Chain A
Amino acid sequence: GQQLNQSPQSMFIQEGEDVSMNCTSSSIFNTWLWYKQDPGEGPVLLIALYKAGELTSNGRLTAQFGITRKDSFLNISASIPSDVGIYFCAGQLLPTGSYQLTFGKGTKLSVIP
C-alpha cells in the first residue's frame, strides 16, 4: 500500500534540544495527523491539521500543513525524556469517502539525558 515519505528515519538528540521531522507525499491530502507510539501500545493522536497552511500547537509540539497539501512537519521544543517514541504522520487522501488514513513509516526519537 501507499505510504508517506517520513524523515528522518531516526534521530538522537540531547535533552532540551528542539526536534523537527517531516512528511512528504506525491498525493494531495485534505487532512494530516501526527501520532506518537510507544512500544507495545497503539498510536496516540498529538495534532490534527485540516487546512492548507494551518499551523497548530499542542504544548511543546507544533505542526504545519503544507500549502501544497503534500507535506507537513512536526516540531518538538525543549525535548524531555518522555518524548522518546516513534512519531507517525498520517494523511487522508482525496478523493475518498472512507476516511482511511495512510501512514508514514515513522521517525524514531531517542532523547539522551
Chain B
Amino acid sequence: ETGVTQSPTHLIKTRGQQVTLRCSSQSGHNTVSWYQQALGQGPQFIFQYYREEENGRGNFPPRFSGLQFPNYSSELNVNALELDDSALYLCASSPGGQGKIWEQFFGPGTRLTVL
C-alpha cells in the first residue's frame, strides 16, 4: 500500500509569484487536507477536500486555493506569494465516510521558500 506522496520536495520562489503543490492520497482515501507548518510551530489547517468538493477552510486568504481530482489526488495553489508563505506544506489523507475518518495520514511535505 502506497502512502501519501507530495511533490516537489523543495521549492524556491520569489515574492509575487504563484506556486502549485501536489499530493497523492493513500490508496482507499477520498479526503485530503492541507496544512501549513511554519518553523517551530504545529501545522495549521488550510482546507480540506472530500470527493472533489471543498469541505472546510481554515483562516487563510483566498489566494490559497485547491483542487481535488477524481482519483482523489489534490493540488494546493498559492498566488501572489509573500515572504510569510515560506513554510513546510503538508498534505494528509484519510478514509473519509467509512472507518475511522479522523485519522489523517501525512505526506513528507513540500518545503517552500519565498525570497
Which among A1, A6, A50, A102 has the greatest number of chain B C-beta atoms within 10 A?
A1
Whether the pair A88, B58 counts as a contact (CB closer than 8 A) is no
Q: When the two chains form the complex, which single residue of A41, A100, A104 contacts B42, counting CB atoms closer than 8 Å?
A: A104
Q: When the two chains form the complex, which single residue of B35, B100, B109 contacts A48, counting CB atoms closer than 8 Å?
A: B100
Across the interface, name the chain A residue whose C-beta is closest to B46. Answer: A100
Measured CA separation A42–B59 after assembly (Å): 21
Whether the pair B106, A100 counts as a contact (CB closer than 8 A) is no
Chain B residues lying within 8 Å of A41, measured Cβ to Cβ, are 108-109
Measured CA separation A69–B104 after assembly (Å): 20
Distance from B78 Cβ to chain A, minimum over Cβ atoms (Å) = 17
Which among B40, B45, B55, B59 has the greatest number of chain A C-beta atoms within 10 A?
B45
Q: Does B81 contact A (CB under 8 A)?
A: no
Measured CA separation A31–B59 after assembly (Å): 21
**Which of A51-59, A76-84, A90-98 binds B?**
A90-98
**How big is chain B's contact interface, by range?**
20 to 34
Chain B residues lying within 8 Å of A88, measured Cβ to Cβ, are 42-43
Measured CA separation A43–B68 after assembly (Å): 22
Across the interface, name the chain B residue whose C-beta is closest to A6. Answer: B42
Chain B residues lying within 8 Å of A25, measured Cβ to Cβ, are none
Distance from B92 Cβ to chain A, minimum over Cβ atoms (Å) = 8
- Residues A33 and B102 in contact in the complex (CB < 8 Å), given A1-B59, A97-B56, A99-B94: yes
Offer 11 A-B interface pairs, CB within 8 angstroms, sorted by A: A1-B45, A3-B42, A42-B4, A42-B107, A42-B109, A43-B43, A50-B102, A99-B31, A102-B45, A103-B43, A106-B41
Q: Does B24 contact A (CB under 8 A)?
A: no
